[in-house]
Amino acid sequence: MRYPLSRKHESRERILSAAADLFRRRGLDATGVDAVMAAAGLTAGGFYAHFRSKDALIAAAVGKAGEKAHARLILPFDGLRGRAWSRAFLESYLSEAHRDDRESGCTLPSLSADVARASVPARRNVEARLRGLFALLTERSGPVPALDREQVLGAVALCVGGLLLSRVVVDRGLSADILGACRRGAERLLDQLSKKLGIGPGQTTADGRFTLTTVECLGSCGTAPVVMVNEAYRENVSAESIDALLDGLA
């Protein structure tokens, strides 16, 4: 018996949704096809009617996980812009609720290590979603010169690394301390730029040289905070080093 295409599409979406949640909760290697199909309420034998292999499922499910994370972390703040948006985002991202919600949270701390070892299509899917996110936040906040893009992306890379570490430790008090420290650190980096340049996010200096905006991730958690100046990375920056960095560009 042949089923209509709409039913096949519905089944595929159920598989992708289940895989996106399970991959984030258990990891790619620990999640088998049978578990995904069971979570989707389908028989394991039907898997290959939708995907050629587990690698193909991973590539597609990473995109689905990104869509679900976007709905959780970005859409609630659609009515905000500039500093109000960045503060709301930091409070939500570096929260204990997000730490404990691996299934529907950000894909970066949950899947980056696994995806780095996965197929090229899966990695390209993550990269495409990152580029799309950068474009979204740039459009929301205004033009992003190299300095501002580097600084703010570095601040949010601190968020990603901080969330990951908060999930690693067993001590809940230490976990909460990590979240708080990273949240305050990211806010200080954003505030230092505003103070030094005399502008807030979404604004441009009178001479037109700098525009301050907020974005989500630079993808360099291991050396965060990281900033970018004229396409060059500056790693392990601090609020104190921002003054020297800006003075050197004067």
Average the pLDDT over each of 46-55, 160-169, 182-191 and give the range with the smallest value: 182-191
Q: What is the DSSP letter of 133?
A: H
Domain 5-249 is classified in which CATH homologous superfamily? Tetracycline Repressor, domain 2 (1.10.357.10)
Q: What is the DSSP letter of 228?
A: E
CA dihedral 103, 106, 108, 109 (to 10 degrees): -60
CA 25 → CA 9, 41, 92, 99, 110, distances in Å?
24, 18, 19, 12, 8
Give pLDDT, residue 146: 46
Q: What 3-state class would DSSP assign to 29? A: coil
Give pLDDT, residue 139: 60
Q: Is the pLDDT of residue 226 over 60?
A: yes
Q: Is the pLDDT of residue 120 over 50?
A: yes
Which of the residue ranges 94-108, 116-130, 177-191 has the most confident prediction, judged by mean pLDDT? Answer: 94-108
Higher pLDDT, 124 or 190: 124
Q: Is the pLDDT of residue 194 over 80?
A: no
Q: How far apart are CA 28 and CA 111, in angstroms?
A: 8
Give pLDDT, residue 142: 47
Q: Where are the domains of the chain?
A: 5-249
Q: Is the pLDDT of residue 32 over 90?
A: yes
Through-space distance between the first and last CA atoms of the chain, rounded to whole angstroms: 72
Q: How far apart are CA 10 and CA 24, in angstroms?
A: 22
